[in-house]
């Protein structure tokens, strides 16, 4: 257990203490107890920069299930560290923000912070695990904790719907990924990510390669809300805003990005990977930004914007993977896409985090997030307005904010796709810059809608629940810090390039580096009058034009019918599954106990018979049998005849007497077979049983057998004969196949020595197998309690009738 393990597990450990802290320090907001943890962890992870900037890694391993190759091994490299810093850094800011956002009087703070800590620990586990199974476990934990957080306001129907949707989609992806992990294990024989990367050549040439790749991508795409799985993200906005800011902008949705980046060295040598990641990414980019424009809820705009931005990072990673094919190029001509991806990942976390917090402030101070009701808030909330301007302009790609820099690099990366000559990119590659550019126009457009529809225009006080005013200072601290980072990274981007971006790229494209080398990243603002600059100018001009004429062309959103939307498909599919499974269940679960008994008995016959045939177990051996005496035959006959006569007995009394006859004959058999204790017990029990039967006899109705149809009887007879035959066969075979000596000799030898008793059966019961007897008494006790309760029970329905 190293310090690193402790750091990863510390959120989970703190979660254990939260209920206690919440209960005993009622007057302190629970969030304050949380805040130090991510802050300290952030500091702790920062010191690793000095390690990773030289391309080194830290590896700590803790044996877990070593026999299966599953060890709790953690690895810090450039990529993992970048994510760990995001998780803890944004985590600290979000916790601070939530302290002012969630009121301790109204909300169940203890559960909220437990879920949040679970999530934080799970995320750290995902990004730092070097073992795929461990990674998967943490991955699913993020799905579960996200489910709990989205459904936090569980009194709201929409929250529950959103939580279920995200759960179903991400867990589906998670299971696919598990399949991928197992296939990968079949190929490589290891769960270690580092070892898998070292074997990437074998992986690519394996026949299972494509299946593995697709399963992994399903995991990544569902988590990162890529088209067509993006539908869960907008519904996840039902979560409290701090959650949205944390999970759905900065961390959880980026787990998919992380997975793609992490697995790039393994899969990137194939065209399928490049095309799928880049293609799906660019489609998501466009569809997200296009859909964001029509939203009226501020959080919905941000949700679709997040979908779109994730698509952008994804497509950049896909294109960056193609750079691996030009292994010798050191000038970073194609690698720029990966630089852009990593850089934008950081930028997106900063500006989107701050925008979510701004949305939370607007919601908190006005009571609505609907842009049709908002407007003219500029004068009431100047600081929030400034923050919103910084966030949206960065998102739109306007200088001097950091979004501009990564957007420029994004254009560069996209333009260079068209110059590639592999995987038929020379013909289709041109689509990438075209789609990317048009998506950017919509990105610009919704950014403008977000900020100007809210803060400028007409102030409509009659539509707002509260009189708007500036947020309390505590709520502003976190977004102000994020917005300052937006500006700092925008003006001095190179504080990041050597410390964070270059090591992260080293983890994504390790094969391009020789030992001791690192990527030389330098981000600059001015590239001369390049095509990228004109593309940005075009985006701004066209975007402003579309913004001005917004009301004239939004009709195109109504062309696409609601019936064909993915959400409709999801809802319909879910309902269909429910109905279908209910119908299928109904066909065999019909409520008749007889039907179930028929299933059980048929299955018994089937499974025993096939096993006997398959194992060739049937054997008949007459040599080793006990002698038969005349009166024994008589007893057998009595028993068989009584048992069979019960079937035809017309009256209850006859059946009960016959059952008694069978029981007493069993007792006689026990005498013959030298089991005196059994005989005594059987006699006593049989007497009591018959008495009980006779007692119930007065109260139960006459047996009516004429109700039963012939076919019914025939099935019963068939099954009964089957059961009887199979049991006889088993009894014969078990007698004839003696494969090993009985273990009973131990008891014969030790009964007196160890337990001091002479009656072996008694000693076994009360001594050797004493616990069995104790539980037997317990069972009898439970039965007695049940009987007592049933006799006392009087149904209310009966009382009303009286």
The residues in 577-636 that bind other proteins, with binding defined as CB under 8 A, are 589, 591-594, 597-598, 601, 622, 625-628, 632-633, 636
Shortest distance in whole angstroms from residue 161 CB to other proteins: 24
Shortest distance in whole angstroms from residue 169 CB to other proteins: 28
Q: Does 773 bind other proteins (CB under 8 A)?
A: yes
How far is C-alpha 518 from the geometric centre of its chain's CA atoms? Answer: 36
CA distance 34 to 11: 9
Which 89-148 positions form the footprint of other proteins (CB under 8 A)?
Answer: none
Reported as half-sphere exposure (CB side, CA atoms, 13 A), residue 127 has a value of: 32
Q: What is the 3-state secondary structure (H, E, C) of 670-716?
A: HHHCCCHHHHHHHHHHHHHHHHHHHHHHCCCCCCCCCCCCHHHHHHH
CA distance 733 to 619: 5
- Cβ-Cβ contacts under 8 Å for 723 (sequence gap 6 or more): 601, 604, 605
Q: Does 725 bind other proteins (CB under 8 A)?
A: yes
Shortest distance in whole angstroms from residue 675 CB to other proteins: 5
Shortest distance in whole angstroms from residue 786 CB to other proteins: 6
Closer residue to other proteins in complex, CB, 489/670: 670
With 0-12 / 13-18 / 19 or more C-beta atoms within 10 angstroms meaning exposed / middle / buried, residue 645 is middle
Shortest distance in whole angstroms from residue 578 CB to other proteins: 14
Shortest distance in whole angstroms from residue 708 CB to other proteins: 7
Closer residue to other proteins in complex, CB, 461/786: 786
Closer residue to other proteins in complex, CB, 438/681: 681
CA distance 311 to 309: 5
DSSP 493-561: THHHIIIIIHHHHHHHSGGG--TT--------S--SS-HHHHHHHHHHHHHHHHHHTHHHHTTHHHHS-
Site string for other proteins, 482-511 (x = CB under 8 A): ------------------------------
Q: Does 190 bind other proteins (CB under 8 A)?
A: no
- Cβ-Cβ contacts under 8 Å for 199 (sequence gap 6 or more): 187, 188, 190
- The 3-state DSSP class for residue 61 equals strand
In contact, 129 and 73? CB cutoff 8 Å: yes
Single out the residue of 498, 618, 732, 750 in contact with other proteins (rule: CB under 8 A). 732
Single out the residue of 562, 758, 800, 802 in contact with other proteins (rule: CB under 8 A). 758
- Only one of the segments 261-269, 509-517, 530-538, 718-726 lies at the binding site for other proteins (rule: CB under 8 A); that segment is 718-726
CA distance 669 to 633: 11
Single out the residue of 723, 739, 770, 802 in contact with other proteins (rule: CB under 8 A). 723
- CA angle 240-246-252, nearest 5°? 115
Which 26-55 positions form the footprint of other proteins (CB under 8 A)?
Answer: none
Closer residue to other proteins in complex, CB, 195/767: 767
Closer residue to other proteins in complex, CB, 528/756: 756
Block residue for tokens 């002012």: 100
Q: Does 653 bind other proteins (CB under 8 A)?
A: no
Closer residue to other proteins in complex, CB, 171/729: 729
Block residue for tokens 């999970």: 247
Report which DSSP code applies to 470.
Answer: P
Closer residue to other proteins in complex, CB, 364/652: 652
Shortest distance in whole angstroms from residue 552 CB to other proteins: 54
Shortest distance in whole angstroms from residue 403 CB to other proteins: 55
- The 3-state DSSP class for residue 191 equals coil
- CA angle 312-317-322, nearest 5°? 130
DSSP 543-604: HHHHHHTHHHHTTHHHHS-GGGSHHHHHHHHHHHHHHHHHHHHHHH--S-HHHHHHHHHHHH
Return the H-helix or E-strand segment holding 198.
helix 193-198
Shortest distance in whole angstroms from residue 696 CB to other proteins: 5
Q: Does 716 bind other proteins (CB under 8 A)?
A: yes
- Cβ-Cβ contacts under 8 Å for 55 (sequence gap 6 or more): 78, 503, 506, 513, 516, 517, 518
Which 657-696 positions form the footprint of other proteins (CB under 8 A)?
Answer: 659, 662-663, 666, 669-670, 672-678, 681-682, 685, 688-689, 692-693, 695-696
Q: Does 750 bind other proteins (CB under 8 A)?
A: no
- Only one of the segments 55-63, 182-190, 526-534, 775-783 lies at the binding site for other proteins (rule: CB under 8 A); that segment is 775-783
Closer residue to other proteins in complex, CB, 544/597: 597
Closer residue to other proteins in complex, CB, 155/753: 753
Closer residue to other proteins in complex, CB, 555/756: 756
Single out the residue of 207, 516, 555, 798 in contact with other proteins (rule: CB under 8 A). 798
Shortest distance in whole angstroms from residue 624 CB to other proteins: 8
Q: Does 776 bind other proteins (CB under 8 A)?
A: yes
Cβ neighbour number for residue 85 with a 10 Å cutoff: 20
Asked if omega into 339 is within 30° of 0 (cis), the reply is no
Q: Does 756 bind other proteins (CB under 8 A)?
A: no
Q: What value does the CA radius of gyration of the chain take, rounded to a whole number of Å?
A: 36
Q: Does 734 bind other proteins (CB under 8 A)?
A: yes
Q: Does 790 bind other proteins (CB under 8 A)?
A: yes
Q: Does 787 bind other proteins (CB under 8 A)?
A: yes
- Only one of the segments 171-179, 391-399, 400-408, 639-647 lies at the binding site for other proteins (rule: CB under 8 A); that segment is 639-647
Shortest distance in whole angstroms from residue 583 CB to other proteins: 13
Count of chain residues binding other proteins (CB under 8 A): 98
Shortest distance in whole angstroms from residue 612 CB to other proteins: 14
Q: Does 12 bind other proteins (CB under 8 A)?
A: no
Q: Does 720 bind other proteins (CB under 8 A)?
A: yes
In contact, 633 and 668? CB cutoff 8 Å: no
Shortest distance in whole angstroms from residue 750 CB to other proteins: 11
| Alpha-helical runs (H) found in 254-401 | 254-267, 271-292, 298-322, 336-366, 382-396
Length of the chain in terms of residues written: 802
| Packing angle of the helix pair 382-396, 531-548 (nearest 10 deg) | 130
């Amino acid at each position: 257990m190293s310090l690193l393990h402790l750091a990863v597990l510390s959120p989970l450990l703190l979660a254990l203490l939260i209920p206690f802290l919440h209960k005993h320090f009622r007057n302190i907001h629970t969030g304050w107890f949380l805040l130090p943890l991510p802050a300290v962890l952030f500091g702790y992870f920062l010191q690793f920069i000095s390690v990773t900037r030289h391309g080194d890694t830290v590896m700590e391993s803790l044996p877990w299930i070593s026999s299966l190759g599953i060890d709790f091994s953690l690895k810090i490299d450039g990529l993992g560290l970048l994510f760990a810093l995001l998780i803890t850094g944004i985590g600290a800011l979000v916790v601070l923000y939530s302290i002012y956002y969630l009121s301790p009087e109204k909300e169940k703070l203890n559960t909220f912070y437990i879920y949040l800590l679970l999530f934080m620990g799970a995320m750290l586990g995902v990004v730092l695990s070097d073992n795929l199974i461990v990674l998967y476990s943490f991955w699913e934990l993020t799905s579960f904790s996200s489910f709990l957080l989205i459904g936090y306001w569980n009194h709201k129907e929409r929250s529950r719907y959103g939580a279920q949707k995200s759960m179903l989609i991400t867990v589906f992806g998670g299971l696919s990924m598990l399949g991928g992990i197992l296939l990968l294990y079949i190929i490589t024989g290891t769960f270690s990510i580092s070892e898998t990367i070292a074997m990437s050549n074998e992986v690519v040439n394996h026949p299972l390669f494509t299946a593995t790749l697709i399963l992994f991508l399903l995991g990544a795409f569902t988590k990162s809300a890529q088209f067509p799985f993006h539908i869960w993200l907008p519904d996840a906005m039902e979560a409290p805003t701090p959650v949205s800011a944390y999970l759905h902008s900065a961390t959880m949705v980026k787990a998919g990005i992380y997975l793609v980046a992490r697995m790039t060295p393994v899969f990137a040598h194939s065209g399928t990977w490049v095309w799928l990641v880049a293609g799906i990414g660019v489609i998501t980019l466009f569809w997200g930004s296009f859909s964001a424009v029509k939203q009226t809820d501020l959080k919905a705009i941000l949700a679709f914007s997040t979908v779109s931005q994730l698509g952008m990072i994804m497509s950049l990673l896909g294109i960056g993977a193609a750079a691996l094919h030009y292994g010798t190029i050191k000038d970073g001509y194609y690698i720029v896409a990966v630089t852009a991806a990593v850089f934008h990942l950081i930028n997106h976390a900063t500006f989107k985090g701050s925008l979510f917090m701004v949305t939370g402030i607007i919601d908190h101070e006005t009571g609505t997030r609907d842009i049709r009701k908002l407007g003219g808030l500029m004068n009431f909330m100047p600081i929030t307005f400034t923050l919103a301007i910084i966030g949206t302009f960065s998102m739109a790609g306007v200088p001097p904010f950091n979004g501009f820099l990564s957007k420029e690099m994004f254009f560069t990366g996209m333009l260079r796709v068209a110059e590639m000559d592999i995987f038929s990119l020379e013909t289709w590659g041109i689509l990438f810059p075209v789609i990317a550019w048009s998506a950017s126009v919509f990105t610009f457009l919704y950014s403008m809608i977000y900020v100007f529809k809210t803060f400028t225009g007409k102030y409509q006080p009659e539509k707002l629940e509260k009189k708007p005013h500036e947020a309390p200072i505590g709520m502003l601290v976190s977004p102000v810090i994020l917005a300052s980072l937006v500006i700092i990274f925008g003006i001095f981007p190179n504080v990041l390039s050597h410390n964070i971006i270059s090591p992260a790229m080293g983890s994504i494209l390790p094969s391009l580096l020789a030992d001791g080398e690192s990527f030389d990243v330098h981000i600059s603002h001015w590239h001369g009058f390049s095509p990228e600059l004109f593309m940005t100018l075009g985006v701004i001009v066209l975007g402003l034009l579309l913004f001005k004429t917004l009301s004239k062309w939004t009709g195109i959103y109504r062309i696409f019918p609601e019936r064909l939307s993915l959400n409709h498909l999801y809802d319909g599919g879910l309902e269909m599954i429910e109905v279908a499974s209910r119908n299928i269940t109904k066909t065999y679960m019909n409520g008749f106990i007889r039907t179930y008994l028929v299933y059980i008995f048929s299955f018994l016959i089937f499974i025993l018979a096939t096993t006997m045939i398959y194992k060739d177990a049937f054997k008949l051996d007459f040599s080793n049998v006990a002698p038969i005496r005349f009166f024994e035959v008589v007893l057998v006959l009595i028993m068989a005849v009584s048992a069979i006569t019960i079937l035809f007995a017309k009256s209850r009394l006859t059946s009960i007497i016959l059952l008694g006859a069978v029981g007493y004959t069993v007792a006689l058999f026990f005498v013959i077979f030298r089991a005196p204790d059994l005989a005594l017990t059987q006699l006593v029990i049989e007497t009591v049983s018959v008495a009980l039967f006779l007692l119930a006899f007065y109260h139960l109705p006459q047996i009516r057998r004429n109700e039963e149809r012939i076919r019914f009887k025939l099935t019963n007879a068939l099954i009964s004969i089957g059961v009887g035959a199979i049991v006889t066969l088993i009894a014969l075979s078990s007698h004839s196949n003696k494969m090993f000596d009985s273990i009973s000799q131990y008891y014969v030898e030790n009964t007196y020595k160890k337990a001091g008793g002479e009656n072996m059966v008694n000693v076994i019961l009360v001594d050797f197998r004493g616990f069995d007897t104790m539980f037997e008494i317990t069972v009898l006790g439970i039965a007695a309690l049940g009987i007592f309760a049933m006799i006392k029970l009087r149904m209310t329905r009966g009382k009303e009738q009286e």
